[in-house]
Amino acid sequence: MKRSFGIVGGGIVGCATALFLKRAGHDVTVFERVETPRAVGAGLVLQPSGLGVLEKLGLREALEARGAKLRVVRCLGDGGRQIMALRYPQPYDHGLGIHRGILFETLYHAVLDAGIEYRPGHEALGIEQNGDIVFRTQNRERFTESRPTWIIANGAKSRLRNVFPVDLMRKNDWGALWTVVPDEAFGRSDVLEQRVRENEIFLGLLPIGDSPDGPGNHTSVFWSLPLDALKRWRERGVGVWVSEVAKIDERAAELLRFVHDDDPPILAKYRDVVMKRFVHQRGASTMIFVGDAAHAMSPQLGNGTNLGLLDAECLVENLDDLKNFERIRKKQVRAYGFTSRMLTPMFQGHSHVLSMFRDLAVPFAQNVWPFSSVLSQMMRGDFLLEREPEPSLRQRQVRGTTRRA
């Protein structure tokens, strides 16, 4: 039966949900705060689980052509000592480093091509008792809209959560500086490289392939820092940052020669959000929270986008059984949220004990079953995932079975 949905937030998860709903034959309107949607941001990793969802939307191939296929995630400590080298095992043989803007742009254009109504310049201000949502347009006009079902996909800072119970909502004391730089040599290599010193310094080099401006090889560089030190960093300027980076990794410092004070790196802040429930009844409307609006977390596990894409897919498969949607998604995202809260202080904090523990525990865990299996599943985004494998994986599994036979 054809139903009518309103989606608040036309970002990655909002667009993916809109596409799945439209394909299932429903009416969808997306309300997005930003007046001119554009490809912005730095790099992110799409894990095999998220790539599977994008494959179902028919977008995987186009994205893979523009990103960098990752086969190894490596973390090096003092003096280049290897703490971790996780390889994507067969048949899930790669993740994808990609510019966030390219992922958004691809989904956004697919939404427009599908004829979905996407209304930019519409900011949701709140939810009325009867389930209507109050919007403000770019001309500062206010109006209310009603829909039998609202999907709330407006990200980690969502204020629409305020009228519903949450188990945890906490801003992280640490953030990261991100920038994207041209890198002909390694910008499409297959290793995500991380360097740590104790837990106070955390540098990452993520190959991402193209930038939204065009083809070429690029690397997304991130550098973690405590938020209370941010003002000091800003005052000292980009040059001082680059010399700090050079003490850890010459190659990264060389890449950062492209970064200047008039085009400084982006500061990303994180927050942890655990909602009690993702599905609520308010007046005549059902409200369903997905993506970061439902379960934001620090990006230590590199899975926020993947979890949101899995929400979109699972929601549309369970529209007639929202309890099942909530059960399936809660199980997985709570495990990721918990692990992310446990791991983050080992990579971003001031405790030497925790960093020593990390340097002993991670090499042990990656070599000893069942910890090795859990680590690998956590990275791939399919830990505690209840879902059919994506079509290409099914084919590869069938081919593998045939070959073995």
Site residues, ligand FAD (CB under 6 A): 8-14, 31-34, 44-45, 123-124, 153-155, 176, 178, 268, 270, 291-293, 299, 302-306, 308
- Nearest distance in Å: CB 45, ligand FAD: 4
- Nearest distance in Å: CB 404, ligand FAD: 33
C-beta closer to ligand FAD: residue 78 or 271: 271
Here the tokens at position 45 are 């990793």
C-beta closer to ligand FAD: residue 207 or 299: 299
Q: Which of 166, 168, 162 is nearest to 298 (CA)?
A: 168
Q: How far is CA 205 from CA 46, 222, 361, in A?
A: 15, 7, 23
State the alpha helices, DSSP H only, in 230-283.
230-236, 238-248, 250-255
- Nearest distance in Å: CB 53, ligand FAD: 11
SS3 content of the chain, % helix, strand, coil (to 5): 40, 30, 30
C-beta closer to ligand FAD: residue 10 or 345: 10
- Nearest distance in Å: CB 398, ligand FAD: 28
C-beta closer to ligand FAD: residue 360 or 379: 379
- Nearest distance in Å: CB 311, ligand FAD: 8
Q: Which of 336, 315, 312, 333 is nearest to 324 (CA)?
A: 315
C-beta closer to ligand FAD: residue 8 or 63: 8
Amino acid letter, 177? L
Q: How far is CA 96 from CA 1, 105, 343, in A?
A: 36, 16, 22
Q: How far is CA 36 from CA 119, 122, 138, 274, 314, in A?
A: 10, 11, 11, 30, 29
Q: What are residue 210's phi and psi, to 5 degrees?
A: -65, 160
- Nearest distance in Å: CB 270, ligand FAD: 6
C-beta closer to ligand FAD: residue 110 or 401: 110
Measured distance CA(40)–CA(218) in Å, rounded: 15
For tokens 């048949």, the residue is: 91
- Nearest distance in Å: CB 103, ligand FAD: 9
C-beta closer to ligand FAD: residue 168 or 398: 168
